[in-house]
Amino acid sequence: MDAGGTGRPVFDGVQALLTSIRELSRRPNFYTRGSEKGVRGDQPLPIICLQGTPVGNEFMDALNARLDEPDERQIPHVLVDVETAQESAKARWASGVHDFPLIPLLDELSAGISGKKIRGHRSLTQFNRYRLANWLTGQQLEPSEEKRGRAKIVQLLRAWVNRDPVVDPETTHDVVQAVPVGNVGVRAAIVACRFALSRWLSERVPGLRQERRWLMRQPFMVPQHSAGFLGFAERLTAGYRSSENDDQVRKLLVHAFLEDLRHKYRRPWFRGFPNRKGSRHTAYFVLLLQNVSEENGGWEFLTLLNAVRNETGEPDPLLVVASSDDQARLSAAFQATGPYAAANIESALARWRETLPTQRQLLAENARYLPIVLPAKTTAPADVHQLAPGDQNPVGRLR
């Protein structure tokens, strides 16, 4: 602990670690060229893996407490103990009307971030794309050979947007029969028009324009193999999903989660200048994950995050800091750029940026990881004076 007895962990390199997190969390403005081949604006962010959960957890608790303090430049953040995330997700879906989420940790993250208030009065995003995709994966919709099989998915989607059906598909026959008798050609045209209109209305789901457009344009699960948005939505539901690649479904969920964050951070253009809507976000979102392991799904999320970033190539505003003692997974992460001590994180970050273009082209499983080794325990109060001055009271100088 630190010399002042504030409960803040101190160890060799803690100030360098904090400085790097602070610099990474700062979002560059659109006109700033980053280190990666002079690209303007948003830059790729690493997944910082801290080896050593005791010290790592203490560090993140102190960092989270510091970030919670009021500040004119508030950094959006959330702290999640991965060990308890599954139980929290189970409690949230205990009603039984929805199957348990495919990625419980991702569901916990979306709930935590959407409930987080920025500057005390507004949430960052409600994760509409992710929530829709996640909700569909929990719906029990079995394949049907009936002609009106699409009516079920339409009913589900309309329930999602909380709208009443515009036209009951079962009344189509009555609508067609109600055509008045007259000229045969005119009557046939009216029947055809009414039938086409009733069919179009029966399959229309108002309120999902943005979600529909994005789902049909993103790469995972090959949406082009579906007969439109309704067919793709059916493929996400239980029953239909048995013939899908499970890894692709999970990547789609992570991609949707990241896209909802990107959407809020996006800088739309107006007459050659970036609009204020996305430019007002001057800090990336910091995600602190404690006790990451293979058993609790923490490494599954990090693996999917790495894969989605590699395969899409799209930057996202999520800076992940994770603590773990899973030696097998950490050793795999170390193969790319490490391990590095906390005091050497600056050179580790430079090495990571240098190797990232090649690693992501190879779709390397460790391309996005920045592994940092922490000491087994914090520095004893009697030995704090032996540390560098910045390491003796680090968290107070975070911003």
Residue 387 CA to residue 378 CA, distance in Å, equals: 11
Q: Is the dihedral of CA 223, 255, 372, 388 positive or negative?
A: positive
More confident residue, 339 or 219: 219
361-383 tens-digit pLDDT: 999 999 999 999 888 766 545 44
Q: What is the pLDDT of residue 159?
A: 81
CB-based contacts of 54, cutoff 8 Å, min separation 6: 376, 377
Provide mean pLDDT across the span 19-39: 74
CB 114 within 8 A of CB 123: yes
94-136 tens-digit pLDDT: 665 567 788 999 999 998 888 776 655 566 678 889 999 998 9
Complete DSSP assignment for 186-198: HHHHHHHHHHHHH
Complete DSSP assignment for 313-328: ----SEEEEEEE--HH
Q: What is the pLDDT of residue 376?
A: 72
Q: What is the pLDDT of residue 68?
A: 83
Q: For all residues of the chain together, what is the average pLDDT?
A: 77
Q: What is the pLDDT of residue 356?
A: 93
Q: Backbone dihedral region of 291: left (phi > 0), alpha (psi from -120 to 50 degrees) or beta? A: left
**Residue ranges covered by each domain of the chain:** 14-126+250-397, 140-245
Provide mean pLDDT across the span 191-200: 51
Alpha helices in 226-297 (DSSP H): 228-236, 246-265, 276-279
Q: What is the pLDDT of residue 394?
A: 58
Predicted TM-score of the model (pTM) = 0.81
Please tell me whether the peptide bond between 28 and the residue prior to it is cis, using omega within 30 degrees of 0. Answer: no
Q: List the single range of 114-118, 187-191, 289-293, 313-317 with lowest mean pLDDT.
A: 187-191
Burial of 287 (0-12, 13-18, 19+ CB in 10 A): buried
Q: What is the pLDDT of residue 328?
A: 76
Residue 85 CA to residue 67 CA, distance in Å, equals: 21
Provide mean pLDDT across the span 331-336: 69
CA distances from 271 to 29, 259, 274, 370 (A): 17, 25, 8, 39
